[in-house]
């Protein structure tokens, strides 16, 4: 038993072998089912438990405690990374996620102008509407489609490409790499797939950066090449890292999120009807669907010094998982947390994070989701789930379904 596990036991926390990397169970159920079990059975009234799996880590599930930890970056550092539930720390270190203020604040400020509501609602919105209509037009004649690979990923990739300076012709090839890169593994074939994803995206951005060094454009790679932090340019590794991470973060999270949204809407006709009859509820529906099943499952933090946290003695180096997906069902915050209420307001879910690292792409994500939900329900108001027998799930930093098969009456080709 390690020292952290002993301190967890001393504080009366449950100690569970909760192994996200190797336990097959997590591939067979929705991430919210796993997170819900963690909150109800393991955390109980303590708001946290300890997992003895991998290198051992605390898991916090209470909404209030996670909100506090997200803000307290001086105690809960992001530098050690999110992947603390893995057996080893992956070599790749995504930025700006794995930075703390004050450096984090300066680097984030360089990216912020590319994610403002004005930028997102302007050209990007027009592109999103045009592309969404084109894709929906194509699938309506088929009578079936996968909501992730055929709807959400092409749209999320195309909009994210705009900011990153990537040629649209590469969109299809990059999708697989983004999927692989988004959830690292340190074992077997999954480890090789992950590393391949990292290398593929890195090579694309090495090429883009080489071109931008010669001629700048209105995109993030160009801005980072011109950027100065404390009067100095960013080093090449940091620039490359920020480009690769920004691209993957934008595509993977928003497309898996739309997959979850379609899964619930396709399985619950009364929710679908609400959207069709009252499209004005889509903005609150997006937040509720984000709360209920989020592509961002958790945040990883490392403790910086000895401190008491809600009755638990923490020491420097302790790994802490903030299980935001569980917090989103916390009955202390949400009335009827296991019910989807598309008009829920206020809705202080933690799916877009909180504190200094709160998602920088949230306007873009909301715009893409709103566009897709509006256009889809106008064109195809009635649809249902297809064969789910081969669908698998992922419960890691991000959660996902391998596919969301939709069926609907095909429109005749004229």
Q: By CB under 6 A, is residue 75 in contact with ligand HEM?
A: no
Q: By CB under 6 A, is residue 62 in contact with ligand HEM?
A: no
In the set 36, 47, 80, 246, which binds ligand HEM (CB under 6 A)?
246
How many residues make up the chain in this entry?
A: 414
Only segment of 85-93, 205-213, 295-303, 375-383 that touches ligand HEM (CB under 6 A)? 295-303
- Tokens standing for residue 347: 């809705």
Cα(404)–Cα(323) distance, integer angstroms: 24
Only segment of 217-225, 326-334, 361-369, 374-382 that touches ligand HEM (CB under 6 A)? 361-369
In the set 261, 364, 395, 408, which binds ligand HEM (CB under 6 A)?
364
For the CB of residue 364, give the shortest distance to ligand HEM in the complex, in Å: 4
Determine the residue with CB nearest ligand HEM: 361
In the set 32, 253, 302, 371, which binds ligand HEM (CB under 6 A)?
253
Say how far residue 310 (Cα) sits from the centre of its chain. Answer: 27
- By beta-carbon proximity to ligand HEM, the closer residue of 11 and 258 is 258
248: CB partners within 8 A, 6+ apart:
94, 178, 181, 182, 201
Cα(373)–Cα(304) distance, integer angstroms: 43
Task: Annotate 23-65 with DSSP letters as a single string.
Answer: -GGGGSS-HHHHHHHIIIIIIGGGTEEEE-STT-EEEE--HHH
Q: By CB under 6 A, is residue 298 in contact with ligand HEM?
A: no
- Tokens standing for residue 29: 């159920």
Q: By CB under 6 A, is residue 250 in contact with ligand HEM?
A: yes
Q: By CB under 6 A, is residue 243 in contact with ligand HEM?
A: no
Identify whether the C-beta of residue 273 lies closer than 8 Å to the C-beta of residue 383: no
Question: Would you give the DSSP letter of residue 304?
Answer: -
- Tokens standing for residue 400: 């996902």
Q: By CB under 6 A, is residue 97 in contact with ligand HEM?
A: yes
Query: Which residues within the stretch 370-409 sit at the binding site for ligand HEM (CB under 6 A)?
Result: none
Say how far residue 280 (Cα) sits from the centre of its chain. Answer: 25
- Tokens standing for residue 34: 């796993």
Binding site for ligand HEM (CB under 6 A): 78, 96-97, 108, 160, 246, 249-250, 253-254, 257, 294-296, 299, 351-353, 357, 359-361, 364-365
């Amino acid at each position: 038993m390690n020292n952290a596990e002993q301190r967890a036991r001393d504080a009366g926390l449950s100690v569970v072998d909760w192994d996200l990397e190797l336990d097959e169970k997590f591939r067979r159920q929705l991430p919210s089912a796993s997170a819900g079990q963690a909150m109800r059975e393991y955390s109980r009234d303590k708001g946290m438990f300890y997992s003895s799996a991998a290198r051992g880590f605390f898991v916090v599930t209470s909404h209030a405690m996670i909100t506090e930890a997200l803000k307290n970056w001086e105690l809960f550092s992001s530098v050690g990374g999110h992947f603390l539930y893995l057996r080893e720390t992956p070599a790749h270190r995504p930025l700006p996620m794995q930075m703390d203020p004050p450096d984090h604040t300066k680097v984030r400020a360089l990216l912020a102008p590319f994610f403002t509501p004005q930028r997102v609602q302007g050209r990007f919105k027009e592109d999103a509407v045009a592309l969404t209509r084109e894709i929906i037009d194509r699938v309506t004649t088929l009578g079936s489609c996968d909501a992730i690979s055929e709807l959400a990923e092409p749209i999320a990739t195309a909009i994210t490409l705009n900011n990153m300076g990537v040629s649209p012709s590469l969109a299809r090839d990059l999708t697989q790499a983004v999927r692989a890169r988004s959830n690292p593994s340190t074992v077997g074939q999954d480890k090789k797939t992950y590393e391949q994803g990292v290398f593929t995206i890195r090579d694309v951005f090495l090429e883009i950066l080489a071109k931008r060094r010669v001629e700048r454009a209105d995109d993030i790679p160009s801005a980072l090449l011109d950027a100065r932090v404390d009067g100095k340019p960013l080093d090449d590794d940091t620039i490359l890292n920020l480009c690769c991470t920004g691209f993957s973060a934008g595509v993977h999270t928003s497309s898996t999120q739309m997959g979850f949204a379609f899964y619930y809407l396709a399985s619950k006709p009364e929710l679908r009807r609400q959207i069709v009859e009252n499209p004005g509820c889509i903005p609150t529906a997006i937040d509720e669907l984000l709360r209920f099943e989020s592509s961002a499952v958790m945040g990883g933090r490392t403790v910086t010094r000895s401190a008491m946290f809600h009755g638990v003695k923490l020491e420097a180096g302790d790994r802490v998982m903030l299980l935001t997906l569980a917090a989103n069902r916390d009955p202390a915050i949400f009335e009827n947390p296991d019910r989807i209420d598309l008009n829920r307001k206020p809705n202080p879910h933690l799916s877009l994070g909180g504190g200094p690292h709160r998602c920088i792409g949230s306007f873009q994500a909301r715009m893409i989701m709103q566009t897709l939900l509006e256009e889809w329900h106008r064109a195809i108001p009635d649809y249902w789930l297809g064969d789910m027998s081969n669908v698998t799930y992922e419960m890691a930093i991000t959660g996902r379904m391998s596919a969301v098969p939709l069926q609907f009456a095909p429109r005749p080709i004229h």
